[in-house]
Amino acid sequence: MTSKWEIKPIVPDDFIKKNPEYNKIILQLLFNRHLIEKPEIELFFKPDKMSLSDPFLLKDMKAAAALAIKHIKEQNLIVVYGDFDADGVTATATLVEILNIFKAKTGVYIPGRTSEGYGLNKKAIAELIKIGAKLIITVDNGIRNKEEAAYAKSLGLDVIITDHHEPPPDKNDWPDCLIINPKAEDYAYKSLAGVGVAFKFVQGLIKLSKLDEQLKNKLAEKVLDLVAIGTVADMVSLLGENRTLVSQGLKIINQGKRLGVAELIKIAQANGNAKKINSFTIGWQISPRLNAAGRLDHANTAYELLVTKDKNEAQAIAKKLNIKNSERQKITEDITAYCRKVVEEKMLGDKILIVCSPNIESASGEAWPEGVVGLVAGRLCEAYARPVLAITKIKNEIKGSGRSIDEFNIMEAIESSGKYLEKFGGHAAACGFTLKSREDLKGFMREMKKIVNKALAKVELAPKILIEAEIDLPDINDELLEALEKFEPYGEDNDKPKFLSRGMQIMDKMNMGANAQHIKFRFGSIWAVAFSQAENLKEFKIGDKVDAVYYLEFNEFNGRRAAQMKIVDIKNSSS
């Protein structure tokens, strides 16, 4: 599908006049991120851990931290109940690490994705009672587990929920226990990941402790590497408090102190050419390998990697996760290719794409692993620019994941279709669900299509490339690129900026790569590279005038660095 180029509104003149110390292009990027006031601009460029908000602004924090400290003092078994994705695993490791420093008696429980599913479950709770648990602290789950929390309390367990997912709209459906969830109260910053909420709880514990201030700060810093990984992995906003957490966490990661993370980076070849680890490294190298454990096996493997103190064990687990990730990539690619064929043949006119594993229709059909359906939904959503549900049958259960576009809140739609669902959860852009029965599938699909068709009736559905600013070739210089480097870490709400330049003449072109699969063009003195696009762009020739959307970056080679474009899309200027 041809992508539509969409340029963000031009920065107002009065904003430029108020901030003469900044380049106009930089001001455009700040304006695009709704960073208007000088204090928030200064904090954006210099994220300071001292700016992190007081954890006790979360309503139940003081009571929850006090309850945990009570159990620590009594040497009761505290079980941290996690989730099987990278956010949940890092959140589990974060909380357990600090509890252990406080000499707590701890246990860890991460449910199996396929065998148990997301969140608290009664069977697990009963097992935890048998091993002597007295307190369960959830991380990255629990806000929709009212019944399970009540069951735990009926057996004499204390329960603390720490979560960041949307709570049920009716407060009567919330668990009756201490809850730390920024979305469940008037806490100013709603975008924390599960690991971010776990970190706030850690902050609360540390603040209530009798340690001296210097040691308190060191303890909090100790786990910021985990917080950065989980925050980037969960694709939450990287503005505000999350930007500070990730910026500070990246400093810790680059010190290479955590054996498991260092070995994972090494085996993924993520630090080639001795480059610093950044948010891109986390998002594309570290978190997929951590997630691979829970997608195809059990997340305990990823957890063990994060907490191990043994170099040989770290190397062995990192190798295992790397293999699992390769396996996950192959499975995802095969299923996505199958789904794209189905979409092209039957669904191109649909406002929502609903794809089902072959075993739903036929007993002999293939079952898609539950751990990859969300990835498939995400790829289809990106390719076709519309909401997607990918559904599979695991044993006798019908389970699925959804991904959505900016114009459609998929979680609200799932909530409206709740009569067909055994359980569900998520947020505006992504959801997970389990149907009550195979017989409910048709009704559920019908209901979702009805909701989507109404909501998107007047919306043009086509892939979009969001362009931050239109600039001219003379605007590109080292000073601009150095200023752009200060926008790191990139991520949600702070994407790496895409620029547009029009009417550029191709002065030179050449192919690169072992199979000549890459191509680069020269515009004036600047080279623009398009990776794996040599075949698609072979018609462009020297002398042509083109419009191009691109990223800007430094190309570093043999100790020299020069401005370079990285092509996103390119068209003839006349088109």
Strands 560-572 and 526-530: parallel
Distance CA 9, CA 12 (A): 9
Question: Residue 261: beta bridge partners?
Answer: none
Sequence-ordered strand ranges (E) for 306-365: 353-356
Nearest of 347, 380, 352, 342 to residue 449 by alpha carbon: 352
Mean pLDDT of 277-294: 94
Q: What is the pLDDT of residues 519-529, one digit of tens each?
A: 999 999 999 99
pLDDT above 60 for 437: yes
Angle subtended by helix axes 213-222 and 86-101, to nearest 10: 150
Mean pLDDT of 495-503: 97
Q: Are 428 and 404 in contact (CB under 8 A)?
A: yes
Nearest of 104, 118, 110, 115 to residue 90 by alpha carbon: 110
Strands 4-7 and 464-467: parallel
Strands 105-109 and 77-81: parallel
What DSSP designation does 1 have? -
Q: Are 83 and 139 in contact (CB under 8 A)?
A: yes
Query: What tokens were used for 132?
Result: 């002597």
Phi and psi torsions of 39, nearest 5°: -60, -40
pLDDT above 90 for 445: yes
pLDDT at 85: 94
Q: Are 225 and 261 in contact (CB under 8 A)?
A: yes
pLDDT above 60 for 273: no
Distance CA 219, CA 432 (A): 35
Distances (CA, A) of 524 to 464, 506, 574: 28, 8, 20
Strands 464-467 and 421-426: unpaired
The domains found in the chain, sorted by start residue, are 4-46+465-572 (2.40.50.460), 51-212 (3.90.1640.30), 347-455 (3.10.310.30)
Distance CA 179, CA 195 (A): 15
Mean pLDDT of 463-485: 95
What is the distance between the terminal CA atoms of the chain, rounded to a whole angstrom?
Answer: 16
**Residues 43, 47, 51, 54, CA torsion sign:** positive
Nearest of 447, 292, 304 to residue 369 by alpha carbon: 292
**Residue 26, amino acid:** I
Phi and psi torsions of 206, nearest 5°: -65, -40
pLDDT above 90 for 51: no
In three-state secondary structure terms, 265 is helix
Q: What is the pLDDT of residues 147-163, one digit of tens each?
A: 999 999 999 999 999 99
pLDDT above 80 for 558: no
Query: Where does residue 71 fall: left (phi above 0), alpha (psi -120 to 50 degrees), or beta otherwise?
Result: alpha
How far is C-alpha 113 from the chain's CA centre? 18
Q: What is the pLDDT of residues 127-142, one digit of tens each?
A: 999 999 999 999 999 9
Q: Burial code of 169-188, b = ≥16 C-beta within 10 A, e = fewer?
A: eeeeebbebbbbbbbbeebe
pLDDT above 70 for 266: yes
Long-range contacts of range 416-419, CB-CB < 8 Å, 24 or more positions apart?
A: 416/447, 416/451, 417/444, 417/447, 417/448, 417/451
Q: What is the pLDDT of residues 165-215, one digit of tens each?
A: 999 999 999 999 999 999 998 899 999 999 999 999 999 999 999 888 888
Q: Are 484 and 278 in contact (CB under 8 A)?
A: no
What DSSP designation does 235 have? T
Distance CA 97, CA 104 (A): 10
pLDDT above 80 for 312: yes
Nearest of 478, 480, 459 to residue 469 by alpha carbon: 480
Name the pLDDT band for 1 (thresholds 50, 70, 90): low
Nearest of 81, 196, 74, 199 to residue 136 by alpha carbon: 81
Length of the chain: 575
pLDDT above 90 for 49: no
Name the pLDDT band for 39 (thresholds 50, 70, 90): very high
pLDDT at 451: 97
To the nearest 10°, the Cα dihedral for 533, 536, 542, 547? Answer: -80
**Residue 479, amino acid:** E
* Average per-residue pLDDT for the chain: 94
Q: What is the pLDDT of residues 365-378, one digit of tens each?
A: 899 999 999 999 99
Residue-by-residue DSSP string for 121-149: -HHHHHHHHHTTEEEEEEES--TT-HHHH
Question: Residue 547: beta bridge partners?
Answer: 571
Q: What is the pLDDT of residues 68-117, one digit of tens each?
A: 999 999 999 999 999 999 999 999 999 999 999 999 999 999 999 888 98
Distance CA 210, CA 108 (A): 26
- H or E element, residue 217: helix 213-222
